[in-house]
Structure 1
Amino acid sequence: MAWKHANEQDFRRAISGHNLALVAFVDVGTGTPISIQKTPIDSLGSENSHPRKTGSQALESEWMSIAGSHTSLISFDCSTGSAVCDEFGIISYPALRFFDGHGQMKSYRGPRRASAIASFLKRAVRPAITTLDEENSTNFQSVDETVLIAHINSRDEHVVTAFETVSSQFQDRASFGLIDTTGASTIACYNNRDEQKFTMSDLTAVDALTKLVESCIAPLIGEFTRANEMKYLQSGKSLVLFFATSSGEREAFADEMRQVAKMYKEYLSFVTVDANEYGDFAVPLGLTPGVFPALAVQNPMYGQVFPYTSRAKISPETVGAFVMDIVQKKVKPWDGQSRPEEVVQAHDEL
Structure 2
Amino acid sequence: MKHFLVVLFAVFASTSKASDVLEFDDSNFGTEITKYDLILVEFFAPWCGHCKKLAPEYEIAATALKREDPPISLAKVDCTANSDACSKFGVSGYPTLKIFRGGEFNQDYNGGRSADGIISTLKKMNGPASRVLDDAEKLKKFLANADPVIIGYFEEGNDGIKEFENIASALREDYKFGHTSLADALTEAGTNVVKLHRPKRLKSIFEDQVLTFEGKLNLNNLRNFLKDNIFGLCGHAVSTNFEKFKRPLAVALDANVDYVKNPKGSNYWRNRVMKVGKDFADQMNFAVANPADLGQFLPDSGLPENDQSAKPQKPAVVIYGSDDRKYIMADLFSLDGFKEFLEKFVKGEISAHIKSAPIPEANDEPVTVVVGKTFDEIVMDESKDVLIEFYAPWCGHCKSLEPKWNELGEKMKDNEDVVIAKMDATANETPKEYAVSGYPTIYWAPKDSKKNPRKYQGGREVADLVKFLKDNASSKIKTEL
Give TM-score scaled by structure 2 length.
Answer: 0.45
Larger Rg: 2
Q: CA deviation at 1:176?
A: 1.0
Q: Distance in 1 between matches of 2:260 and 2:96?
A: 22
1:189 alignment partner AA: L
Using the alignment, how far apart are the partners of 2:254 and 2:49 within structure 1?
23
Q: Does residue 198 of structure 2 align to residue 185 of structure 1?
A: no
Query: For residue 149 of structure 1, what is the amino acid of its counterpart?
Result: I
The answer on whether the counterparts of 2:65 and 2:119 sit within 8 Å (CA) in structure 1 is: no
1:102-251 aligned within 5 A? 103-106=104-107, 114=116, 117=119, 121=123, 124-125=126-127, 128-130=130-132, 132=134, 138-142=139-143, 144=145, 145-153=147-155, 157=159, 159-172=160-173, 173-179=175-181, 184-192=191-199, 194-195=202-203, 196-203=209-216, 207-214=220-227, 218=231, 220-224=235-239, 229=243, 232=245, 235-240=246-251, 242=253
- For 2:356 and 2:248, the matched residues in 1 are separated by 25
Partners of 2:76 and 2:59 in 1: how far apart? 15
- Counterpart in the other structure of 1:73: 73
SS in 2 for 1:163: helix
Q: Structure 1 residues 190, 123: CA separation in 2 closer, same or farther (over 3 Å shift)? A: farther
SS of corresponding position for 1:223: coil
Shift in alpha-carbon separation, 1:282–1:187, aligned structure 2, 3 A = same
**Counterpart contact for 1:96–1:108, Cα < 8 Å:** yes
Give the corresponding residue for 1:286. Answer: 302
Alignment match, 2:382: none
Q: Return closer, same or farther for 1:250/1:94 CA change in 2, 3 Å cut-off.
A: farther
Contact kept in structure 2, 1:286 and 1:307, CA below 8 Å: yes
Change (3 A) 1:309 1:237: closer
Aligned partner of 1:20 among 30, 37, 56: 37
- 1:283-310 CA distance string (max 9 Å, x none): 2x6359xxxx995513525786443565
Q: Secondary structure at the match of 1:16?
A: helix
**TM superposition score normalised by structure 1:** 0.57
- The answer to whether the 8 Å contact 2:167/2:218 transfers is no
Can you give the 5+ residue segments of structure 1 that lack an aligned partner in the other structure? Answer: 32-52, 313-317, 340-350
Aligned counterpart for 1:300 among listed residues 303, 310, 321: 321
Secondary structure of the residue that 1:298 maps to in structure 2?
Answer: strand
Contact 1:250/1:272 (8 A) holds in 2:
no
Secondary structure at the counterpart of residue 282 of structure 1 = coil
Q: Name the stretch that deviates more: 5-14 or 182-191.
A: 5-14
Q: Is the 8 Å Cα contact of residues 241 and 270 (structure 1) preserved in structure 2?
A: yes
User: How far apart are the structure 2 equivalents of 1:170 and 1:96?
Assistant: 20
CA distance in 1 between counterparts of 2:355 and 2:289 reads 25
Q: How far, CA to CA, are the matches of 1:147 and 1:58 in structure 2?
A: 30
**Are positions 1:259 and 2:267 aligned together?**
no
1 or 2 for the larger relative contact order (CA 8 Å, sep ≥6)?
A: 1
Query: Structure 1 residue aligned with 2:49, among 29, 32, 52?
Result: 29
Deviates more, 1:206-215 or 1:82-91: 82-91
Tell me, what secondary structure is at the counterpart of 2:25?
Answer: helix
The one-letter code sitting in structure 2 at the alignment partner of 1:139 is: K
Q: Of the candidates 326, 332, 336, which is equivalent to residue 341 of structure 2? A: 326
CA contact (8 A) 1:239 1:298 kept: yes
Residue 95 and residue 128 in structure 1: after superposition, are their counterparts in 2 closer, same or farther (change >3 A)? farther
- Rounded Cα–Cα distance in structure 1 between residues aligned with 2:168 and 2:224: 13
Change (3 A) 1:122 1:72: same
CA contact (8 A) 1:14 1:21 kept: no
Structure 2: distance between partners of 1:176 and 1:95: 31
Given that 2:43 and 2:78 are in contact with CA atoms closer than 8 Å, whether structure 1 keeps it comes out as: yes
Greater shift after overlay, 262-271 or 116-125? 116-125
1:298, 1:305 within 8 Å by CA — same for their partners in 2? yes
The one-letter code matched in structure 1 to 2:248 is K
- The 3 A distance-change label for structure 1 pair 72 and 186 is closer
Q: Which residue of 2 aligns with 1:345?
A: none
Give 1:224 deviation, angstroms: 4.7
1:286 maps to amino acid: G
Paired residue total: 299
Over 3 Å counting, the alpha-carbon distance change for 1:131 and 1:105 in structure 2 is: same
Match of 2:360 in 1: none
Q: 1:102 to 1:271 in 2, by over 3 A?
A: farther
Change (3 A) 1:95 1:319: farther
Distance 2:229 2:329 in 1: 31
Q: Whole-Å Cα distance in 1 between the matches of residues 127 and 238 of structure 2?
A: 27
| Paired position in structure 2 for 1:101 | 102
Separation in structure 2 between the aligned mates of residue 303 and residue 114 of structure 1, nearest angstrom = 24
Provide the alpha-carbon RMSD of the alignment: 5.5
2: CA distance, partners of 1:194 / 1:163 = 26
